[in-house]
Amino acid sequence: MIDLAKLDEHRELFGFFAGQLIYPDKETFALIREIEEADLPQTVKEPLFKYREQMLLLTMEEIEELYVDTFDFEKSSTLYMTYFKYEESKERGQLLTSLKAVYEMFGMEMVDRELPDFLPLMLEFLYVADWLDHPHAEAGMHTVITILEDGTYELMKALEPKGNPYYDLIKALRETFKRCLSQEVKVHESV
């Protein structure tokens, strides 16, 4: 179960991840240098540092080429989070419609040029949408996070054997999701 308050605490980080997963440019990539100053838990900071170190060794042209080779030419590492499970099936279409409805319910208008399961768009939604005090926040966020969890797991599995720097970014993102889970407190009865 998602802890909405914890999810809200990580908005800035979701914005950072969204910026790193769109087609790279100098402005968004410059944010990678700010990781060092961020107050992050070690489980998130460690893979982010590794990602940063690998990316700083590349020129901007090499980063652009890596992005295209990784996300545009490989079905196994697509940024469309429902593609891994459903590919082009009818179920995927229904899920995309549901996801679009969630975005609209929380005040985010969809632009026709991207599908609702595009990872940077989903992360941008977590960053900017007004969902925290919404009466349907729990159900809506459950839908979004479930899709993100499933998709990023498959994406991370595809990137790991290739030694791709984006593996560490996705790993850090998944660690951030873990930090947003509710911690059930076990109550011990005294006898």
* Residue 163 φ then ψ, to 5°: 65, 30
- Average pLDDT of the residues of the chain: 89
CA neighbor of 146 nearest in space, from 105, 184, 99, 104: 99
Q: In the structure, what pLDDT confidence band is assigned to residue 28 with cuts at 50, 70 and 90?
A: confident
The two most distant CA atoms of the chain are separated, in Å, by: 67
Count CB atoms within 10 A of the CB of residue 17: 24
pLDDT tens readout for residues 119-148: 999 999 999 998 888 899 999 999 999 999
pLDDT at 183: 65
pLDDT interval class at 191 (50, 70, 90): very low
Output the CA–CA distances (angstroms, integers) from residue 50 to 30, 66, 70, 153, 155, in the order listed: 16, 16, 18, 19, 18
The pTM of the full predicted model, rounded to 2 decimals, is: 0.90
| pLDDT for res 32 | 73
C-alpha neighbours within 13 Å on the C-beta side of residue 127: 14
Q: Which tens digit of pLDDT belongs to each residue from 82-111?
A: 999 988 889 999 999 999 999 999 988 877
Partners of 80 in the β-ladder: 118
